[in-house]
Amino acid sequence: MKLSKLYSDTPDTFAPIDFVSGLNVVLAEIRLPENRRKDTHNLGKTTLGRMLDFGFLAGRDPKFFLFKHFDLFRDFVFFLEVELADGSYLTVRRSVAEASKVAFKKHAVGHQDFSTLSILEWDHFDVPFERARELLDSLLDWRALKPWTYRKGLGYLLRSQDDFRDVFHLRKFANIHADWKPFLAHILGFNDELITRHYAKEQELSEKQAIAQTIKQELGGSVEDASKIDGILLLKQQESDKKQQLLDAFDFRAQDKAQTKQLVDEVDEKIAAHNARRYSLMQNRKKIVTSLEEDQILFNPDDAKKLFGEAGVLFEGQIKKDFHQLIAFSEGIEECPLW
């Protein structure tokens, strides 16, 4: 892989940078007499490296000037063109506003300007960030780095000044040797699995030493006396057994069964009581209806008068009046409510 071109969609502000085959040098030269006393450092060499890293899909760093001054650069779109191992070219498109969406296009001729290319003309557009890294890794095809990705070795290619203090130990691997030494061993042709296992065992040893130190502090000093350790283990075992017995005692099945039976019995008693009351009310109603039917007034004074007239007996005057009043009184009692 070789760098070919770095440019943006605003060439008047960010001028295109064309890389040549071979050695590329960033040279600072002061030509104006009034600027002779100015420092030639801090001209953007490190910034150029960071911009290349941005094109190679570095993560979003809030300290990076594009995001630190987001309001100034939010409308910028940057393009990185690289030459692949097979002689073809790949252009990576990444905007500042949507840095997590990436576009790719392969082409046969280098030093192109795809800043005005339509969406449909890109091979892949708006690819999510992690998927874009996987796609770029496959396109670069740095198979010699496997099982690591291209990002692992990129730090050795895009170095800042601090990264040159140690040839192999980059600044971003300041503390964790297991992050870079297996990779470096792999690049140099050594068995990286041995290095990886070494640091894994070293990490495991550190964890066990920390546990041993904690146990020593809990024991209050030395743990050289085996009988003391056995006694402590016995006490811990007894404590564990007691806790297990306490957990076993938390068995609510018998209590739940008793409460369920009690609830069922109470419901049965209520049902029986309601059935008895229902039967009693039905019997009382039946008796009332029967009594009302039996107490119907069958005597009709007019029929009695006719019957008495046929027998030659008089049924007039006070007798007939008294029967009418008696019937009216009886009907009045029947219509009167009981409350």
Check: CB of residue 4 under 8 Å from CB of residue 83.
yes
pLDDT of residue 181: 80
Residue that has been written with the tokens 């008693």 in this structure:
269
Average pLDDT over residues 143-157: 81
pLDDT at residue 112 tops 50: yes
pLDDT of residue 114: 95
pLDDT of residue 165: 66
Identify the CA nearest to 155 among candidates 18, 58, 55, 90.
Answer: 58
For 132, the token pair is 């874009």
**Percentage, residues of the chain above pLDDT 90:** 32
pLDDT of residue 146: 85
Q: What is the pLDDT of residues 51-79, one digit of tens each?
A: 999 999 999 989 889 999 999 999 999 99
Q: In what order do the strands lie in the sheet with 2-8?
A: 17-18, 2-8, 77-83, 89-95, 101-107, 124-128
Give the DSSP H or E segment for 142: none
Q: What is the mean pLDDT of the chain?
A: 81
The contacts of residue 21 (CB under 8 Å, 6+ apart) are: 2
Q: What is the pLDDT of residues 28-43, one digit of tens each?
A: 777 778 777 776 666 6
pTM of the model as a whole? 0.57
What is the residue extent of each domain of the chain? 2-141, 251-296, 299-339
Q: What is the pLDDT of residues 208-240, one digit of tens each?
A: 888 888 877 776 655 556 667 777 788 888 888
Average pLDDT over residues 3-26: 91
- Give strand pairing partners of 77: 95
For 56, the token pair is 């190679």
Residue 320: CA atoms inside 13 Å, Cβ hemisphere, count?
A: 14
Identify the CA nearest to 3 among candidates 15, 14, 16, 13.
Answer: 16
DSSP letter assigned to residue 143: G
Alpha-carbon span 315 to 27, nearest angstrom: 151
pLDDT of residue 186: 83
What does DSSP say about strands 124-128 and 89-95: parallel, antiparallel, or unpaired?
Answer: unpaired
Residue that has been written with the tokens 């229902």 in this structure:
278
**Which of 3-12, 149-158, 285-294, 317-326 comes out lowest in average pLDDT?**
317-326
Helices (H), ranges, the chain:
45-55, 65-68, 70-73, 129-140, 150-157, 181-187, 192-219, 226-249, 253-294, 301-311, 318-335
DSSP letters, 147-192, are TS-HHHHHHHHS--GGGGSSSS--GGGSS-GGGTHHHHHHHTTS-H
pLDDT of residue 122: 95
CATH for the 2-141 domain, from 3.50.50.60, 3.30.1370.60, 3.40.50.11810, 3.40.50.300? 3.40.50.300
Q: What is the pLDDT of residues 303-335, one digit of tens each?
A: 766 766 676 655 565 555 666 666 666 666 555
